[in-house]
Amino acid sequence: MSGALGPELAAVVRARVSPKGTLENLSQQEVDKLLDRGQGGLYPLFRRCALAVLNSGTLIDDARLIFEAYRDFELKIMREPWGIKLEMHHAPGSAFVDGEMIRGVKEHLFAVLRDIVYTHNEIVARFDFNDPASVTNAIFCILRNARLLDYKGRPDLVVCWGGHSIPREEYDYTKLVGYELGLRELSVCTGCGPGAMKGPMKGATIGHSKQRIRDGRYVGVTEPGIIAAEPPNPIVNQLVIMPDIEKRLEAFVRLSHGIIVFPGGVGTAEEILYLLGILLDPANAGQPMPLVFTGPRESAGYFRQLDRFIATTLGPEAQQRYRIIVDDPAEVAREMQRGFEAVRRSRRRLGDAYNFNWLLRIPPAFQQPFAVSHASMAGLALSMDLPVHERAANLRRAFSGIVAGNVKEHGIRLIEERGPFEIHADPQIAKPLDELLRAFVAGRRMKLVGEYRPSYRIA
């Protein structure tokens, strides 16, 4: 094990844990599939996701370093009179206190088990992922099974996006915004990792505590490709693992009643382009979706550049779908409250559910998984001649590929084997894209620790 990874990566030789409240029993077929290490078996996926959850709190966002540090990590499923237990060898010591697994970590570990088993048994064979309606129904079923749709109150869920690698002043600001949301009894949903995904939840816990809210919702939505680089933070009390990045993004926008975007890097830009591309589809012209870009005064330049990039590549119509608020956490929360009232009225008028936005149209270009490779990245059509929502879809894919090259195991390996991805774009897109990415690198928004080596080249 590499000593450079820090003392928090000390290993526990052996531990046994029992589930609590979720999936206490597995069939023999399910156990066999989970322990199958061959092609089509679930063990490699289960092991990767479990290790990521157990490694929560680390300052490493290179999936391969984590997997290499715990290359001897093993999982077994043990049958006992009252159900099952997981037996682990060489697990991260940070997940335990005096030999006992931390309760929040245990909940996340069995959420991983629940979602992997459910997706394999009930989703893969049942739904046609080439049919847009079928994809949306599959996402609904995964969220329902994870109990994320149990809430029956008024619209209150704020999705917060932002970078996992941000400076201290930006992280502190995300906490202030979360605090203002909590004071207004709003719930928080993020990508569940560190940085701008943790800060709003941390702030909201204090706001909820002051309002004597004991059942605050801190929802984390992730997927297997990113979970190692962005392991669930300990505040998340409702975790769901979606099958891929596209279904994760759709889950965000269908669950949310409003979205706040904090400063971030390429992953945050991917999320913004995904959302704007959907909202710019003519079918969604009447969809109320409060959207705020916000950060401390030190981040004003970041948002000016992001706004210029959107104006140049997507046009003024895209700019009209969001509001930029700098250094005013209370106004951000008030803007969400005002927007939620419009969402409530719209859902009631149209007969749509509060807890899942069925009427939002998501075109196939935003639903189909993008297989990242050198060929697929080079073949992206980034042209001003495309309709604006299609242009946004391909820009989103370009950023998704860069994310893969930065932090995902498969993408990192491709870059090492064949060099950076090449991105071909019209000059009107290439120049602002290059400027934005260079600003992300200069602002250290690409990586938590170490020197960043670009995973892309703009041709």
pLDDT at position 1 is: 36
Last residue of a domain, one of 324, 350, 376: 350
Whole-number pLDDT of residue 4? 39
Label each residue of the chain as H, E or C.
CCHHHCHHHCEEEEEEECCCCCCCCCCHHHHHHHCCCCCCCCHHHHHHHHHHHHCCCCCCCCHHHHHHHCCCCEEEEEEECCEEEEEEEEEEHHHEECCEECHHHHHHHHHHHHHHHHHHHHHCCCCCCCCHHHHHHHHHHHHHHCCCCCCCCCCCEEEEECCCCCCHHHHHHHHHHHHHHHHCCCEEEECCCCHHHCHHHHHHHHHHHHCCCCCCCEEEEECCCCCCCCCCCCCCCEEEECCCHHHHHHHHHHHCCEEEECCCCHHHHHHHHHHHHHHCCHHHCCCCCCEEEEECHHHHHHHHHHHHHHHHHCCHHHHCCCEEEECCHHHHHHHHHHHHHHHHHHHHHHCCCCCCCCCCCCCHHHHCCCCCCHHHHHCCCECCCCCHHHHHHHHHHHHHHHHHHHHCHHHHHHHHHHCCEEECECHHHHHHHHHHHHHHHHCCCCCCCCCCCCCEEEC
Q: 161 is in which domain, residue-wise?
A: 137-350
* Residue 10, pLDDT score: 53
Do 165 and 311 sit in the same domain of this protein? yes
Span between the terminal Cα atoms of the chain, in Å? 39
- What would the mean pLDDT of 81-108 be, rounded to a whole number? 85
The reported pLDDT for the residue numbered 290 is 97
184 and 107: one domain?
Answer: no
Reported as a single tens digit per residue, the pLDDT across 347-385 is 999 999 999 999 999 999 899 999 999 999 999 999 999
The verdict on 192 and 273 lying in the same domain is yes
Shared-domain flag, residues 151 and 109: no
Q: Are residues 163 and 112 in the same domain?
A: no
| Domain assignment of residue 118, yes or no | yes
Q: Do residue 378 and residue 445 come from a single domain?
A: yes
Q: Identify the CATH number of the domain in which residue 20 sits.
A: 3.30.1850.10
Question: What are 220-254's pLDDT values in tens digits?
Answer: 999 998 887 788 999 999 999 999 999 999 999 99
- Is 207 in the same domain as 334? yes
Q: Is residue 356 part of a domain?
A: no
- In this structure, the answer to whether residues 296 and 162 fall within a common structural domain is yes
The answer to whether residue 330 is domain-embedded is yes
Weakest-pLDDT range from 62-76, 100-114, 188-202, 399-413: 62-76
What integer pLDDT is reported at residue 5 of this predicted model? 46
In a domain, 357, yes or no: no
User: Which of residues 126, 161, 196 is at a domain's end?
Assistant: 126
In a domain, 84, yes or no: yes
* 132-145 vs 103-118: helix crossing angle, rounded to 10: 140
Q: How much is the pLDDT for 52?
A: 87
Same domain, 329 and 395: no
186 and 155 within one domain: yes
Q: What is the pTM of this model?
A: 0.90
Domain end (from 291, 319, 350): 350
- Model confidence at 268: pLDDT above 70: yes
Inside any domain, residue 181? yes
CATH number at residue 249: 3.40.50.450
Domain count, the chain: 3
Specify if 74 maps to a domain: yes
Q: Is residue 441 part of a domain?
A: yes
Q: Are residues 290 and 171 in the same domain?
A: yes
Q: What is the pLDDT of residues 321-335, one digit of tens each?
A: 999 999 999 999 999
Q: Tell me which residue has tokens 């989103």.
A: 396
Say whether both 237 and 301 belong to one domain: yes
Of 26-35, 207-216, 268-277, least confident by mean pLDDT is 26-35
